[in-house]
């Protein structure tokens, strides 16, 4: 029943005027974003703000630093969660992710 209401809600939103402008439309090349939403947002936040102190934000260091950390995790060093995560991604996926992380609003301009 809950699921039905949720689906009904989505249908209503999709049918309302102007919904297309705001709806998270699946545009083709947004792979980094999609990967981020699917694999990282849960712990590091939708905008890379993190959930301190448990999960660090991904918006306070230069993206090169995060890229280097991913390589380090991938090599098996560091937090097990991230080692497993990094190993499950391809180099290409990590590149996509880093390109997306570079677009996240920096921590200093956060409201
Ligand atoms: C299940 C939770 C979880 C998920 C999902 C997750 N991470 Fe993490 N991540 C962590 C934790 C916990 C740490 C802190 C590790 C530590 O303390 O060394 C971390 C640390 C990091 C760091 C180092 C940040 C820093 O400043 O030290 C990077 C970079 C990172 N994660 C990237 C990612 C990316 C990219 C994804 C998605 C592919 C991702 N994480 C998914 C839990 C998660």
pLDDT digits (tens, 9 = 90+) for 61-78: 999 999 999 999 999 999
Does the domain made of 27-105 have the CATH classification 3.40.190.10? no
Alpha carbon nearest to ligand 1 atom 34, residue: 40
Q: What percent of the chain has pLDDT over 70?
A: 70
- Please give the distance, rounded to the nearest whole angstrom, from the Cα atom of residue 78 to the centre of ligand 1: 10
Q: What is the atom index within ligand 1 of the atom nearest the CA of 78? A: 18
3-class DSSP state of 72: helix
Report whether residue 39 contacts ligand 1, using a CB cutoff of 6 Å: yes
The pLDDT value given to residue 24: 55
Model's pTM, two decimal places? 0.79
Each domain of the chain, given as residue ranges in start order, spans 27-105
E strand or H helix at 64, and its extent?
helix 63-74
**pLDDT for 13-26, tens place per residue?**
555 555 555 555 55
The pLDDT value given to residue 50: 96
When pLDDT is averaged across residues 74-96 and rounded to a whole number, the result is: 96
- CA-nearest of 68, 47, 71 to 57 is 47
- The pLDDT confidence band at residue 92, using thresholds 50, 70 and 90, is very high
């Amino acid at each position: 029943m809950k699921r039905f209401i949720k689906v009904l809600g989505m249908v209503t939103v999709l049918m309302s005027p102007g919904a297309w402008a705001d709806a998270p439309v699946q545009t083709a090349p947004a792979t980094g974003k999609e990967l981020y939403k699917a694999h990282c947002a849960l712990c590091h936040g939708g905008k890379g703000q993190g959930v301190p102190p448990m999960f660090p934000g991904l918006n306070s260091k230069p993206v090169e630093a995060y890229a280097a950390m991913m390589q380090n995790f991938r090599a098996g060093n560091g937090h097990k969660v991230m080692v497993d995560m990094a190993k499950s991604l391809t180099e290409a996926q990590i590149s996509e992710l880093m390109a997306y992380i570079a677009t996240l609003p920096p921590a200093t301009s956060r409201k």
